[in-house]
């Protein structure tokens, strides 16, 4: 269509949307033909189509037209049904005038007119600056209006006007910058407007700069704008575009963008949002083959396959639903071809029930068509999901339980039908809550939000809750399980918390539950309490005796628990193990033997090592390997009074629950020793009754946990006093025995108390510092000893001399000692923790023991040799001295180690440190070292006295002073060679000086090899000359001069180079480089 409106071409448009509601009756409305200026409607409201009662059609006129009537029309239930359509009327607009700048207006306008249809108006041309071109007008349809042209800057081009529909308006052209082009206007729709051009025209426009459009006060429901300026009720400037969108799960009907036009109106009416539901369908198409081109959504093959698959499932679905159905392909996968579809259905009223019904219809429809041709689409592969409804499902909670949820709508929250929050959370015992999560494009699923049950309660908070629970036979198992869980978390339980645990155990055992589950929980609770810090349990015992009450509750429960079909029940945890037997007097008349052992890492009771066997088996190998053994005599049968009874055996790995406040106070007051339970604990009871004054005693044997204890006493736990007591128990073994054996005339918990002497242990920090010093010192000494051995061992001139042979043997012994010591401290990474099994630890201790003794014995040989050279002088020769010395210095240590290790057997090495234990240390190491140190000290004094003898009564000049300094250096060197620094170890028994002495001992003895290297290599001119001859390329000539190895006095400081005053004592110097007549 054509016409004249506002000087611009436009194409009016009508937008029609129909939303189908529901049919009220069986009658229909017939849609009449639309007016010509309405756009063809959508499918629901096509002309001549039938609409059900209640159907609503929405009409919108195109731009430039105003809607007359209602924009929404409903099919009304009348006779006959009526559907009244609106109409559109063209909007009249004033022409928008463009003002032109005119630079010269002195010309008078001339009008040229023609009324004859056949007249062709002439071309008007002017080249005169003062000429005004004429206005050309025609009323005849066939007239062709003339072209008006001007090349003069001052020319005003004429206005060309036509009122005839068929007239073609002329083209007006100007090439002059100052020319003002004429306004061309047409009011007829069919007129083709002429083109007016100018290369440079100065124009001033006022028609659009102030134009604004006002948005409606409210947007349709669920509609919003993503543009910040487009807010309901606000104004937007000319040419501003608003982008509109619907909420998730709704489809936008209408134009997504609207723009402010020059006439102050919006380009389109606001769209609205229509509810749709999306369903996901996944199916496998067996006769299709996935190729790489299907990964490209723009490929022709992809388009072809998608069109085929969509058509295959969309048509059947459209036939099953009255609502509009559209199908799209989301993705294609390999495996024949696996397709994921989105099925979108318009909905009127949303509900979970309707959504699941639609989902069921979709699935059933697709299965039906697939079964009709199973070679095309696999019926078994069809899976359907809703994007707005979560199906009934089970979800694993963060606490490991299974929570079940009924179907629910997207973004909805629901409580689980079966799961509750754990008791130890803030929302304990309340229903677990789930959220149906989805984004309207993917399948919905139930999700349990984080912290849904709130934070975890502290142990104290839970104990307060449990404290108020009334224990019954119905809830005893649950309370016991919850109490076990609380105590197993590793949190610090306060003193009041321990008291609450004891009270709850007393309440639980008070109902005499025979359930195995209750007993298992109680054993685990006791195991957890036993793992608490010893100091904390000690304070709890002193305050309310709660540890002892825990023990009594355990024994009470074990006495009533139901035994298994084999007549026994067994419970083994890390710190506690128990076995309950239902026995007759005949059974007990044979006696019972109990064995108890811990694992190799000493962290828990060994399940295999804890056994209760009938008969006396205390002499069997199993007994020697156990750490605690108990034999119940046959005389116990008298305590059963001719009926069956309950025999309960209990063992404890640690004594933490047996807190003797009296012993604790004794240890607090005593500075010299510490009295401590030094064994595993083993107990027996019958029917949880007191058993005393047995005619035949109970025999118990223990392996001390720490072999360094002394003054062992056999004790039993007295629940009346909550203390260890020697009443009724005697020790039957001697002090030198590996195992401590006891006999007692009653049944209870048994153990051994021992004393431990010595200074306080070093702090962790001091221990670490000494360890670092040991590492560094030993490494330096190893380096020095290796160089010394290589220097003296590879040079025959040095190697043949007796003092140097002694030096080489001493270096070899010290090297072995340092290497083994480094290995030992490397495997001992944890303080007071057993990290090696007994056999390899004992072997390592034996090597360390041997090399220590060998080093000390060679130091004794060195002392004897010095005494021969400096004191005896004459008649000092011993034939085959080195052979005899080697036999003694290498053989005696081997003999001592063998005897010590054989006598002490498995108690030879400490459990937490691979070094000889207390008695092997005393007899096999400290005594030999003490004897050698005394011997060397006597020699040291005599040699020093001999060296200073010639200086008495003389006036000391500067040379004498330097000589005395050298003699002092010699004395220090002699002391190092003779190992007198080892005597510092004996001073460590002085408690107040222990830390200082251990520091000095560690520094001096770890660097002994380094001192030997410095004194016998670096400070020896002869050694330096040998090095210089062998390594000329690396060592300068000055290396052999006295300054290279001299002391601060400026004189050569050979270790044993003596002054001229000593030379009459020997025909050789004492540096070690003296000629020998024999070896």
Cβ atoms of 684 and 648 within 8 Å: the answer is yes
Higher pLDDT pick, 99 / 817: 817
Could you read off the pLDDT of 91-112 as tens digits, one per residue? 654 443 333 333 333 333 333 4
Q: Could you tell me the pLDDT band of residue 84, with boundaries at 50, 70 and 90?
A: low
Q: Could you tell me the pLDDT band of residue 964, with boundaries at 50, 70 and 90?
A: low
According to the model, what pLDDT value does residue 989 have? 54
What span, in angstroms and rounded, lies between the C-alpha atoms of 771 and 999?
10
Residue 145 has pLDDT above 70, yes or no: no
> For the chain, which domains are there?
15-90 (2.10.70.10), 212-270 (2.10.70.10), 277-386 (3.30.70.960), 390-447 (no CATH), 457-562 (1.25.40), 565-757 (2.60.220.50), 764-1019+1054-1065 (1.20.1070.10)
Q: Could you tell me the pLDDT band of residue 114, with boundaries at 50, 70 and 90?
A: very low
According to the model, what pLDDT value does residue 490 have? 65
Could you read off the pLDDT of 774-793 as tens digits, one per residue? 889 999 999 999 999 998 88
According to the model, what pLDDT value does residue 440 have? 80
According to the model, what pLDDT value does residue 755 have? 86
pTM exceeds 0.85: no
What span, in angstroms and rounded, lies between the C-alpha atoms of 232 and 221?
12
Q: Could you tell me the pLDDT band of residue 509, with boundaries at 50, 70 and 90?
A: very high
According to the model, what pLDDT value does residue 920 have? 79
- Of 287-301, 400-414, 441-455, 906-920, the range with the lowest mean pLDDT is 906-920
Could you read off the pLDDT of 306-339 as tens digits, one per residue? 999 999 999 999 999 888 888 999 999 898 999 9
According to the model, what pLDDT value does residue 124 have? 44
Q: Could you tell me the pLDDT band of residue 62, with boundaries at 50, 70 and 90?
A: low
Written as six digits, the tokens of 1047 are 């002391």
- The H or E element containing residue 206 is none
According to the model, what pLDDT value does residue 630 have? 94
Burial of 811 (0-12, 13-18, 19+ CB in 10 A): buried
Written as six digits, the tokens of 272 are 């609205």
What span, in angstroms and rounded, lies between the C-alpha atoms of 644 and 637?
10
Q: Give DSSP secondary structure letters for 868-897.
A: IIIII-TT---TTHHHHHHHHHHHHHHHHH
Burial of 1044 (0-12, 13-18, 19+ CB in 10 A): middle
Could you read off the pLDDT of 392-420 as tens digits, one per residue? 999 999 888 899 999 888 889 999 999 99
Q: Which residue has the tokens 């028609």?
A: 207
Cβ atoms of 37 and 63 within 8 Å: the answer is no
How far CA 178 is from CA of 129, 132, 158, 397, in Å, comes to: 11, 14, 15, 83
Could you read off the pLDDT of 540-560 as tens digits, one per residue? 999 999 999 999 999 999 999
- Listed in sequence order, the residues at least 6 apart from 347 whose beta carbon sits closer than 8 Å to its beta carbon are 275, 276, 277, 323, 354
According to the model, what pLDDT value does residue 1060 have? 30
Residue 186 has pLDDT above 70, yes or no: no
Q: Which residues pair with 730 in a beta bridge?
A: 743
- Listed in sequence order, the residues at least 6 apart from 8 whose beta carbon sits closer than 8 Å to its beta carbon are none
How far CA 595 is from CA of 2, 346, 466, 616, 629, in Å, comes to: 113, 79, 37, 11, 5
Most confident range (mean pLDDT) of 136-140, 889-893, 1024-1028 is: 889-893
What span, in angstroms and rounded, lies between the C-alpha atoms of 818 and 774?
9
| 495-510 and 534-544 helices, crossing angle to 10° | 70
- The H or E element containing residue 920 is helix 918-921
Whether omega before 80 lies within 30 degrees of 0, making that bond cis, reads yes
Could you read off the pLDDT of 607-641 as tens digits, one per residue? 999 999 998 888 888 887 899 999 999 888 887 77
Average pLDDT, the chain: 76
According to the model, what pLDDT value does residue 976 have? 62
What span, in angstroms and rounded, lies between the C-alpha atoms of 67 and 845?
108
Pairing of strands 257-259, 673-677: unpaired
Q: Report, as an integer, the average pLDDT of 505-524.
A: 94
Residue 511 has pLDDT above 80, yes or no: yes
Count CB neighbours of 915 within 10 A: 19
According to the model, what pLDDT value does residue 90 have? 64
According to the model, what pLDDT value does residue 71 have? 67
Q: Which residues pair with 1022 in a beta bridge?
A: none
Q: Report, as an integer, the average pLDDT of 474-495.
A: 87
Q: Report, as an integer, the average pLDDT of 197-205.
A: 39
Sign of CA dihedral 717, 720, 725, 730: negative
Written as six digits, the tokens of 1001 are 């001992």
According to the model, what pLDDT value does residue 88 have? 73
Could you read off the pLDDT of 680-724 as tens digits, one per residue? 999 999 988 888 989 899 999 999 998 878 888 999 999 998 999
According to the model, what pLDDT value does residue 528 have? 94
Could you read off the pLDDT of 369-385 as tens digits, one per residue? 999 999 999 999 999 99
Residue 289 has pLDDT above 80, yes or no: yes
* Residue 104 DSSP label: -
- Of 232-241, 500-509, 958-967, the range with the lowest mean pLDDT is 958-967
Q: Percentage of the chain with pLDDT > 90?
A: 30
Nearest alpha-carbon partner for 466 in 439, 445, 434, 493: 493
What does R_g of the chain's alpha carbons equal in angstroms? 55
According to the model, what pLDDT value does residue 415 have? 94
Q: Report, as an integer, the average pLDDT of 997-1012.
A: 82
Q: Could you tell me the pLDDT band of residue 758, with boundaries at 50, 70 and 90?
A: low
- Of 192-196, 394-398, 847-851, 979-983, the range with the lowest mean pLDDT is 192-196
């Amino acid at each position: 269509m054509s016409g004249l409106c506002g000087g611009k071409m436009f194409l009016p448009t009508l937008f029609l949307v129909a939303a189908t509601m529901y049919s009220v009756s069986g009658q229909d409305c017939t849609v009449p033909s639309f007016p010509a200026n309405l756009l063809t409607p959508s499918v629901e409201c096509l002309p001549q189509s039938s609409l059900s009662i209640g159907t609503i059609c929405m009409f919108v006129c195109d731009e430039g037209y105003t809607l007359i009537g209602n924009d929404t029309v409903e099919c009304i239930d009348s006779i006959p049904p009526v559907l009244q359509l609106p109409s559109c009327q063209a909007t009249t607009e004033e022409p928008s005038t463009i003002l032109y700048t005119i630079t010269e207006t002195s010309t008078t306008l001339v009008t040229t007119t023609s009324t004859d249809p056949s007249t062709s108006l002439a071309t008007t041309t002017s080249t005169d600056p003062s000429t005004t071109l004429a206005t050309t007008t025609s009323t005849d349809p066939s007239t062709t209006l003339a072209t008006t042209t001007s090349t003069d800057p001052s020319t005003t081009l004429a206005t060309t006007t036509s009122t005839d529909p068929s007239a073609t308006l002329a083209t007006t052209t100007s090439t002059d910058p100052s020319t003002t082009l004429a306004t061309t206007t047409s009011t007829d729709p069919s007129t083709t407007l002429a083109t007016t051009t100018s290369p440079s025209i100065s124009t001033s426009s006022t028609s659009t700069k102030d134009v604004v459009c006002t948005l409606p006060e409210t947007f349709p429901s669920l509609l919003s704008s993503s543009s910040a300026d487009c807010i309901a009720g606000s104004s937007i400037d000319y040419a501003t575009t608003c982008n509109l969108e619907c909420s998730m799960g709704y489809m936008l009907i209408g134009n997504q963008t609207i723009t402010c036009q020059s006439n102050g109106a919006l380009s389109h009416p606001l769209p609205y949002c229509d509810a749709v539901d999306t369903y996901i369908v996944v199916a496998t198409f067996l006769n299709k083959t996935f190729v790489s081109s299907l990964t490209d959504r723009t490929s022709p093959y992809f388009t072809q396959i998608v069109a085929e698959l969509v058509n295959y499932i969309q048509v059947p679905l459209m036939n099953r639903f009255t609502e509009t159905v559209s199908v799209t392909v989301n993705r294609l996968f390999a495996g024949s071809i696996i397709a994921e579809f989105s099925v979108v259905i318009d909905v009127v009223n949303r509900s979970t029930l309707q959504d699941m019904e639609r989902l069921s219809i979709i699935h059933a429809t697709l299965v039906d068509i697939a079964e009709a041709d199973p070679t095309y689409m696999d019926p078994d592969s069809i899976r359907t999901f809703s994007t707005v409804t979560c199906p009934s499902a089970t979800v694993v909670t963060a606490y490991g339980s299974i929570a079940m949820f009924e179907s629910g709508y997207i973004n909805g929250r629901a409580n689980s039908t079966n799961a509750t929050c754990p008791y130890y959370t803030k929302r304990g015992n309340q229903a677990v809550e789930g959220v149906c999560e989805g984004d309207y494009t993917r399948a919905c699923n139930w999700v349990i939000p984080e912290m849904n049950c709130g934070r975890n309660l502290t142990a104290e908070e839970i104990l307060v809750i449990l404290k108020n629970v009334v224990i019954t036979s119905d809830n005893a198992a649950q309370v016991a399980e919850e109490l076990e869980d609380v105590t197993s978390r590793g949190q610090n339980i306060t003193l009041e918390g321990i008291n609450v645990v004891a009270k709850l155990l007393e309440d639980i055992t008070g109902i005499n539950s025979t359930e195995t589950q209750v007993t298992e929980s109680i054993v685990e609770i006791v195991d957890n309490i036993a793992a608490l810090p010893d100091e904390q349990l000690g304070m709890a015992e002193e305050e309310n005796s709660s540890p002892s009450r825990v023990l009594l509750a355990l024994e009470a429960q074990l006495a009533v628990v139901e035994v298994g079909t084999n007549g026994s029940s067994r419970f083994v945890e890390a710190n506690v193990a128990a076995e309950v037997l239902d026995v007759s007097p005949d059974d007990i008349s044979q006696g019972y033997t109990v064995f108890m052992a811990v694992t190799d890492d000493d962290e828990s009771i060994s399940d295999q090592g804890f056994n209760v066997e009938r008969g006396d088996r205390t002499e069997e190998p199993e007994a020697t390997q156990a750490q605690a053994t108990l034999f119940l005599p046959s005389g116990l049968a008298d305590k059963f009074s001719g009926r069956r009874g309950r025999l309960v055996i209990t063992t404890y790995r640690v004594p933490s629950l047996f807190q003797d406040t009296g012993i604790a106070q004794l240890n607090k007051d005593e500075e010299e020793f510490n009295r401590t339970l030094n064994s595993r604990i083993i107990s027996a009871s019958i029917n949880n009754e007191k058993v005393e004054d047995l005619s035949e005693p109970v025999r118990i044997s223990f392996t001390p946990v720490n072999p360094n204890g002394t003054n062992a006493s056999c004790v039993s736990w007295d629940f009346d006093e909550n203390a260890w007591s020697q009443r009724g128990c005697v020790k039957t073994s001697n002090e030198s025995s590996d195992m401590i054996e006891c006999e007692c005339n009653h049944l209870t918990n048994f153990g051994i108390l021992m004393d431990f002497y010595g200074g306080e242990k070093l702090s962790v920090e001091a221990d670490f510092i000494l360890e670092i010093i040991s590492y560094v010192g030993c490494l330096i000494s190893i380096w020095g000893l290796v160089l010394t051995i290589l220097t003296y061992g590879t040079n025959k001139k040095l190697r043949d001399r007796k003092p140097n042979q002694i030096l080489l043997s001493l270096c070899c012994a010290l090297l072995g000692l340092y290497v083994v010591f480094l290995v030992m401290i490397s495997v001992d990474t944890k303080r007071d923790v057993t990290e090696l099994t007994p056999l390899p630890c004992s072997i390592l201790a034996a090597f360390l023991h041997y090399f220590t003794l060998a080093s000390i014995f060679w130091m004794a040989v060195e002392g004897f040799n010095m005494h021969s050279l400096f004191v005896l002088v004459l008649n000092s020769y011993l034939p085959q001295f080195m052979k005899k010395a080697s036999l003694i210095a290498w053989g005696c240590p081997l003999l001592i180690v063998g005897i010590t290790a054989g006598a002490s057997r498995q108690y030879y090495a400490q459990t937490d440190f691979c070094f000889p234990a207390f008695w092997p240390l005393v007899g096999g190491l400290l005594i030999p070292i003490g004897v050698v140190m005394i011997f060397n000290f006597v020699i040291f004094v005599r040699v020093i006295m001999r060296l200073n003898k010639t200086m008495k009564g003389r006036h000391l000049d500067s040379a004498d002073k330097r000589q005395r300094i050298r003699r002092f250096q010699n004395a220090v060197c002699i002391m190092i060679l003779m190992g007198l620094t080892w005597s510092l170890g004996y001073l460590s028994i002085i408690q107040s000086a222990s830390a200082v002495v251990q520091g000095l001992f560690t520094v001096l003895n770890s660097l002994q090899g380094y001192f030997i290297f410095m004194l016998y290599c670096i400070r020896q001119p002869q050694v330096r000359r040998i090095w210089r001859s062998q390594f000329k390329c690396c060592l300068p000539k000055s290396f052999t001069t006295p300054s290279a190895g001299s002391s601060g006095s400026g004189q050569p400081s050979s270790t044993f180079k003596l002054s001229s005053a000593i030379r009459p004592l020997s025909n050789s110097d004492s540096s070690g480089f003296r000629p020998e007549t024999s070896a």
